[in-house]
Amino acid sequence: MVFWQEWFRHRCEGIATPIPQKAMDGWPTVDSHTWPDVQSRFVDGLESFVNMAEESELDQKVVPAIEALPLAHMTIRDAAIHVATHNAHHLGQIIILRQVMGLWPPPSGGMTW
């Protein structure tokens, strides 16, 4: 999630980060000792998108990966919606897996449905 969130943020910021050649390149290896950094990058990325949505022209086009792709016509608004939907999809998967493992709701509490 962090990888793609950062990839879309770079495009919104005008940085032409290349699209990965293979799907697995969007799944970098994360060691347990680097987990706090990954969590921080995720939260910082969310905050960055919120700030971008508040401060940017939302209909501004993002830097395309390849002109022929639909991304060539994507706006900052489109990218923010895509990132929110992508994150929600994967967070839902995590919750389902935790439910199956008997680890949901978290010990700190939360909604059970």
With 90 as the cut, is the pLDDT of residue 33 above it?
yes
Residue 113's pLDDT is: 59
- The rounded Cα 113 to chain-centroid distance in angstroms is 24
- Residue 6 domain-assigned? yes
Residue 72's pLDDT is: 67
- Residue 24 domain-assigned? no
Q: Supply the range of the domain harboring residue 81.
A: 2-17+34-100
pTM of the predicted protein model: 0.82
- Residue 95 domain-assigned? yes
Exposed, middle or buried by CB within 10 Å (0-12, 13-18, 19+), for 17? Answer: middle
- Residue 63 domain-assigned? yes
In which element (H, E) is residue 95 found?
helix 76-100
Indicate the number of domains in the chain: 1
Residue 67's pLDDT is: 55
- Residue 111 domain-assigned? no
Residues 51-85: tens digit of each pLDDT = 998 998 999 988 876 655 556 688 999 999 999 99
